């Protein structure tokens, strides 16, 4: 069932859509109050500002879905999977979240007033500025949830990482607090620093983002980290998790991003000269005003991505998957251009296969 059929049947008074599959569906800004999505598969769906007041969502799968500003007042989410979902500013007042899985979800500014959160999993959940008045957390896993941003010097992170610590989620990462020492830092001085597997989910790294050239961050979890005006030239970010990150006016030239997960990320006016994006995931990413020059996109996926004013120059697009991607306005400077690219079994938005020959 597609979105149009769902909304038509809902408008006709039908409410039982239990067990339905709407993976990656766009249901933003719709009124679905009282709907029954029990056991439904809504992974990756866009439900931003959707009214789900009083909805029956037990055992449903909302993993990686966007529910920003949604109304889930008095909704039933028993045993639901909300792992890695975006629940920023969501109204969950009076909701039933018993045994729900919220691992890694962003619940900043959420209303959990009088909500039943018993036995729910809030591990690695971001709960900064959440209103939890009257909420029941009996039996819930909440010890690793993040309720406030802690400041930590980057040198302390390096030392604690060397001692075996890996989880630094929800931090404001600072350069040395001595202004004279900070001025002595040089670009590239951290080249070769190995922080593989470090977890910096929902953290701010603005203080040190200009010194990250050549840093090794293989397999790091950098979900929702802001990379504005950052310098990561030659950095190793292979298999890193960069979901919902913002990368604006930054430099990632010669960086290794093979296997990186950039789902839902925003890439704007950034230099990726000769970067390796083989097997990278750009699903639902927003990419605009940049050029991918001499890149390797072998087996990369762009499912549901939006590309505006983007050009690929000399890129290797072997088995790259653009199906369901939005190339913007066709035949204009705001669309997507391919210049001297290598196509082999490349899947285009309409499902057609493109080859050089």
**pLDDT, average across residues 167-192:** 72
Q: What percent of the chain has pLDDT over 70?
A: 95
Residue 81 domain-assigned (yes or no) = yes
Tell me the two tokens of residue 153: 């010097």
CATH code where residue 64 lies: 2.160.20.80
- How high is the pLDDT of residue 148? 81
Residue 275 domain-assigned (yes or no) = no
Alpha helices in 97-200, H assignment, sequence order: 154-162, 179-183
Residue 326 domain-assigned (yes or no) = no
- How high is the pLDDT of residue 332? 44
Residue 36 domain-assigned (yes or no) = yes
What would the pLDDT profile of 213-253 be if each residue is shown by its tens digit? 999 999 999 998 989 899 999 999 999 999 989 999 999 99
Is the model's pLDDT at 181 over the cut of 70? no
What would the pLDDT profile of 256-265 be if each residue is shown by its tens digit? 999 999 998 9
The alpha carbon of 187 is separated from its chain's Cα centroid by a whole number of angstroms, namely 28
Residues with Cβ < 8 Å from 115, sequence gap 6 or more? Answer: 92, 93, 94, 95, 96, 97, 132, 134, 135, 136
What would the pLDDT profile of 81-126 be if each residue is shown by its tens digit? 999 899 999 999 999 999 999 998 999 899 999 999 999 999 989 8
Give the count of alpha carbons within 13 A of 281, CB side only: 15
**pLDDT, average across residues 45-54:** 94
Residue 344 domain-assigned (yes or no) = no
**Per the structure, how many domains does the chain have?**
1
The alpha carbon of 138 is separated from its chain's Cα centroid by a whole number of angstroms, namely 29
Residue 350 domain-assigned (yes or no) = no
Range of the domain at 7: 1-147
Q: What is the pTM of this model?
A: 0.78
Residue 45 domain-assigned (yes or no) = yes
96 pairs with which residues across the strands?
Answer: 76, 116
Residue 94 domain-assigned (yes or no) = yes
């Amino acid at each position: 069932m597609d979105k149009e059929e769902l909304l038509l049947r809902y408008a006709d008074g039908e409410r039982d859509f239990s067990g339905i599959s709407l993976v990656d569906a766009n249901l933003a800004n719709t009124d679905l109050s009282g709907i029954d999505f029990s056991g439904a598969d809504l992974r990756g769906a866009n439900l931003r500002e959707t009214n789900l007041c009083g909805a029956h969502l037990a055992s449903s799968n909302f993993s990686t879905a966007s529910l920003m500003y949604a109304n889930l007042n008095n909704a039933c989410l028993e045993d639901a999977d909300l792992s890695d979902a975006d629940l920023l500013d969501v109204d969950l007042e009076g909701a039933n979240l018993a045994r729900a899985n919220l691992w890694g979800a962003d619940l900043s500014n959420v209303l959990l007033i009088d909500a039943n959160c018993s036995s729910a999993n809030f591990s690695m959940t971001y709960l900064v500025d959440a209103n939890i008045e009257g909420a029941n957390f009996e039996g819930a896993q909440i010890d690793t949830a993040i309720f406030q941003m802690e400041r930590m010097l980057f040198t302390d992170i390096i030392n604690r990482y060397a001692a075996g610590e890996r989880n630094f989620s929800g931090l404001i990462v600072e350069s040395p607090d001595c202004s004279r020492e900070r001025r002595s830092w040089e670009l590239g001085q951290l080249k070769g620093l190995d922080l593989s597997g470090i977890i910096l989910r929902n953290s701010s790294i603005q203080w040190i983002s200009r010194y990250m050239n050549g840093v090794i961050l293989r397999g790091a979890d950098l979900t929702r980290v802001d990379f504005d005006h950052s310098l990561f030239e030659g950095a190793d970010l292979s298999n890193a998790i960069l979901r919902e990150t913002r990368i604006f006016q930054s430099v990632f030239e010669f960086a290794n991003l093979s296997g990186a997960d950039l789902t839902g990320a925003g890439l704007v006016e950034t230099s990726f000269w000769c970067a390796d994006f083989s097997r990278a995931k750009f699903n639902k990413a927003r990419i605009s005003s940049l050029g991918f020059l001499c890149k390797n996109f072998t087996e990369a996926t762009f499912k549901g991505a939006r590309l505006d004013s983007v050009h690929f120059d000399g890129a290797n697009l072997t088995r790259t998957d653009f199906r369901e991607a939005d190339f913007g306005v066709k035949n204009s400077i705001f669309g997507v251009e391919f210049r001297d690219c290598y196509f082999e079994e490349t899947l285009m938005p309409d499902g057609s296969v493109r080859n050089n020959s």
